[in-house]
Amino acid sequence: MKVEKISELTTNRLSVYLRCLRELSSQGVLSVSSDELADRFHLHSAQIRKDLAYFGEFGVRGVGYYVEGLIDHISKILGLDREHRVGIIGAGRLGTALADYYHFSHSNFKVAALFDTESSKIGTKNGEATVYDFREFSDVVERLKIDVAIIAVPANFAQEVFRRVVQAGITAILNFAPAPLKSEVNIKLKTVDLTNSLESLSYFLAQSEETNGAGKILNVRAKRKRTAAKNAK
């Protein structure tokens, strides 16, 4: 495998390829070419070959890629050949919804614990995961071998929670709090900002409405001109 730095865009695409290959596997497909994979899932064959070439030669001349073999290779590249244990900070509606996320039970990620500060929630169960007191976070992380954290707390608590998570030795963090967090070296932080995404969609809708409105105005003006020209004859 090459040692050069691989971009996050590349690893994101590998995740997409993996989902596509798993779908093919469930349908009994044994081998697939990059062109077939691209056509079927609306991808780019040249990009597929380029991305995979970073990590080795996986194709077979005249065959393409063996589906199960490539699934194994990509799973190892993405570190999905071992279990990752997840701790969710915030046992409110968002945190419990994330804990119940269907795909967790069908992946290498297992929700090992939830954390909160409300006494009424501490000690309760969410599926197989217990809600622990956040003050015990470091001890629980060490005991349950948690290596991924999800932050699902209000914005005003997010930075302090992030600090405590890093302090506990966790370096892979997914943030759902609507707040920008100041990250540190050697910490992988990904923020899912639902508000930002919705506002971007709102902008798209506003522009579409403005364009459609302008088009209607131009159509009305053109109709008036045609009517005036007709009447002038």
Q: Stretch 65-72: mean pLDDT, rounded?
A: 96
CB 45 within 8 A of CB 64: no
Q: Stretch 78-96: mean pLDDT, rounded?
A: 94
Q: Domain boundary at 77, 106, 122, which?
A: 77
Q: Same domain, yes or no, for 95 and 45?
A: no
As given in the structure block, the two tokens for residue 85 are 């244990």
**Residue of 82, 79, 97, 18 whose CA lies nearest to 51:** 18
Q: Same domain, yes or no, for 73 and 88?
A: no
Residue 184 vs residue 3, higher pLDDT: 184
Q: Same domain, yes or no, for 167 and 109?
A: yes
Q: Same domain, yes or no, for 144 and 98?
A: yes
pLDDT tens per residue, range 151-182: 999 999 999 999 999 999 999 999 999 888 98
The rounded distance, in Å, linking the Cα atoms of 152 and 149 is 10
Q: How far is CA 79 from the centre of its chain?
A: 16
Q: Stretch 184-193: mean pLDDT, rounded?
A: 87
As given in the structure block, the two tokens for residue 99 are 């804990």
**Segment 40-43 long-range contacts (CB within 8 Å, at least 24 positions apart):** 41/16, 43/16, 43/17
**Which residue range is the domain that position 122 belongs to?**
84-192
Q: Is 186 left (phi over 0), alpha (psi -120 to 50) or beta?
A: left
Q: Same domain, yes or no, for 186 and 201?
A: no
Q: Stretch 35-53: mean pLDDT, rounded?
A: 95
Q: What does the mean pLDDT of the chain come to?
A: 88
The total domain count for the chain is: 3
Q: Same domain, yes or no, for 217 and 118?
A: no
Q: Domain boundary at 59, 77, 95, which?
A: 77
Q: Stretch 71-88: mean pLDDT, rounded?
A: 94
CB-facing half-sphere around the CA of 206: CA atoms within 13 A: 6
The rounded distance, in Å, linking the Cα atoms of 207 and 128 is 46
The answer to whether position 3 is within a domain reads no
Q: Stretch 192-209: mean pLDDT, rounded?
A: 84
Q: Same domain, yes or no, for 117 and 32?
A: no
Residue 3: its pLDDT value, please? 42
